[in-house]
């Protein structure tokens, strides 16, 4: 029996030439393309044209007849490409080549790019929900994995890109250490109508966080809900115990941490906050690991928004997990 990918006639590989693995391994892209050709999947290669260009490229290629999109890059590149594919029905396959590769770790795909490409042949096109962030000006951005408001978004905002390029994922840990002496900006999170005051809200569809930890233990890409994790610490140093809780997989059971299931979250500044001095001081937002502006924002779920090529073993594991949680 031939490979299912042979049914795709106009596959397009959108890649970020500056993504960590592609930038430092000159022949990796060529080896990956050779693997795809051996699968019977010749691809058109299109590099991104700079920051935030992936969505437009995906829209252009789909309009020109692309029936499969492969995105090679980090989580930010994959997010961009996915934003150009919402409700298109065209499947998206991911080829991780970035710093943290949180989505790849969630799916447990093989990290070397050419080995990941070999698994495209057995991947299953699956309709999944996306998160959607709506800003005050009504502009929207979708996400596959997570939106973070507060502390982790501040780390992303302050991150030096040269340090990120040199240290890779370690740069985020260094950025976290740099936040310890800094004050936090509290904000209000309204989760399915229930109001909470917090300094860090994680609105997620995946269990993996930062590539190394699991925070949202019941989240799943197959669900049409978020898992929302709220922390009520008021000083940055108070997050140190939560870090150890993440390492042990027990952060959701710690005092000051609330774990909720929801379909909508609205985050807004506290009008009476002594730290709030104009819009620039409102708490920041990150989406799939990229800075995405400041509050206020509304976050909701969009069912069946994207067709994602998922490894069969991932689907089997998630379905088994659902049965276990329901028991």
Check residue 186 and give its pLDDT. Answer: 93
Alpha carbon 251 to its chain's center: 20
What is the pLDDT averaged over residues 154-173? 66
CATH number where 98 lies? 3.40.50.10330
CATH number where 298 lies? 2.60.200.40
Mean pLDDT of the chain: 88
Tell me, what DSSP letter sits at residue 198? Answer: E
Residue 6 has pLDDT above 90, yes or no: no
Same domain, 84 and 181: no
In a domain, 315, yes or no: no
User: Regarding predicted confidence, which is higher, 139 or 215?
Assistant: 139
Q: Which of 62, 92, 71 is nearest to 29 (CA)?
A: 71
Same domain, 179 and 291: yes
Residue 165 has pLDDT above 60, yes or no: no
In a domain, 326, yes or no: no
In a domain, 140, yes or no: yes
Check residue 161 and give its pLDDT. Answer: 62
Same domain, 197 and 269: yes
Across 101-105, 303-307, 308-312, least confident range? 101-105
Please report where in the chains the tokens 């070397």 appear, as a residue.
Answer: 112
pLDDT tens digit sequence for 39-52: 999 999 999 998 89
pLDDT band at residue 279 using 50, 70 and 90 as cut-offs: very low
pLDDT tens digit sequence for 119-154: 998 999 999 999 999 999 999 999 999 999 998 999
In a domain, 168, yes or no: yes
Same domain, 183 and 280: yes
CB 79 within 8 A of CB 287: yes
In a domain, 64, yes or no: yes
Q: How many CB atoms lie within 10 A of CB 98?
A: 25
Q: What is the dihedral of CA 137, 142, 143, 147, to 10 degrees?
A: 20
User: Regarding predicted confidence, which is higher, 90 or 211?
Assistant: 90
What is Dmax (Cα atoms) for the chain? 67
54-63 vs 75-83: helix crossing angle, rounded to 10: 40
Same domain, 203 and 291: yes
- The boundaries of the domain holding residue 10 are 4-122
Check residue 174 and give its pLDDT. Answer: 57
In a domain, 102, yes or no: yes
Residue 226 has pLDDT above 70, yes or no: yes
Same domain, 283 and 158: yes
Residue 247 has pLDDT above 60, yes or no: yes
Residue 2 has pLDDT above 50, yes or no: no
In a domain, 323, yes or no: no
CB 212 within 8 A of CB 102: no
Same domain, 144 and 70: no
Same domain, 230 and 141: yes
Distance CA 279, CA 206 (A): 30
Same domain, 147 and 15: no
In a domain, 308, yes or no: no
DSSP for 250-264, please give it.
Answer: -GGGSTTEEEEEESE
In sequence order, the 6+-apart residues with CB closer than 8 A to the CB of 148 are 156, 200, 201, 202, 203, 285, 286
Residue 282 has pLDDT above 70, yes or no: yes
* 295-to-174, 180, 199, 270 alpha-carbon distances in Å: 25, 22, 12, 10
Q: What percent of the chain has pLDDT over 70?
A: 88
Same domain, 147 and 263: yes
pLDDT band at residue 277 using 50, 70 and 90 as cut-offs: very low
Same domain, 23 and 138: no
What is the pLDDT averaged over residues 230-234? 89
pTM: 0.90
The total number of structural domains in the chain stands at 2
CB 68 within 8 A of CB 11: yes
Same domain, 46 and 155: no
pLDDT band at residue 79 using 50, 70 and 90 as cut-offs: very high
User: Regarding predicted confidence, which is higher, 232 or 126?
Assistant: 126
């Amino acid at each position: 029996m031939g490979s299912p990918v042979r049914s795709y006639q106009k596959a397009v590989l959108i890649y970020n030439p500056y993504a960590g693995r592609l930038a430092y391994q000159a022949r990796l892209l060529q080896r990956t393309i050779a693997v795809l050709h051996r699968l019977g999947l010749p691809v058109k290669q299109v590099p991104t044209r700079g920051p935030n260009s992936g969505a437009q490229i995906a829209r252009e290629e789909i309009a020109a007849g692309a029936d499969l999109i492969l995105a090679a890059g980090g989580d930010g590149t994959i997010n961009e490409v996915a934003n150009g594919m919402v409700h298109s029905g065209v499947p998206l396959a991911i080829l991780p080549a970035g710093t943290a590769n949180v989505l790849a770790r969630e799916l447990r795909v093989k990290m070397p790019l050419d080995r990941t490409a070999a698994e495209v042949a057995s991947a299953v096109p699956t309709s999944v929900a996306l998160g959607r962030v709506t800003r005050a000006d009504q502009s929207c951005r979708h996400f596959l994995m997570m939106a973070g408001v507060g502390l982790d978004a501040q780390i992303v905002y302050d991150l030096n890109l040269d340090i990120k390029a040199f240290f890779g994922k370690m740069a985020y840990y260094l950025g976290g250490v740099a936040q310890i002496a800094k004050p936090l900006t509290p904000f209000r999170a309204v989760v399915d109508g229930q109001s909470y005051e917090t300094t860090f809200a994680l609105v997620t569809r995946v269990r993996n966080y930062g590539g190394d930890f699991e925070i949202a233990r019941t989240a799943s890409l197959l669900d049409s809900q978020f898992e929302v994790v709220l922390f009520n610490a008021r000083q940055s140093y108070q997050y140190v115990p939560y870090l150890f809780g993440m390492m042990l997989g027990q952060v959701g059971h710690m005092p000051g941490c609330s774990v909720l299931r929801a379909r909508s979250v609205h985050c807004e500044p506290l009008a009476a906050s002594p730290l709030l001095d104009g819009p620039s001081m409102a708490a920041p937002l990150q989406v799939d690991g990229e800075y995405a502006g400041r509050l206020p924002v509304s976050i909701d779920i969009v069912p069946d928004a994207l067709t994602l090529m998922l490894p069969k073993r991932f689907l089997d594991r998630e379905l088994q997990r659902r049965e276990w949680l329901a028991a």
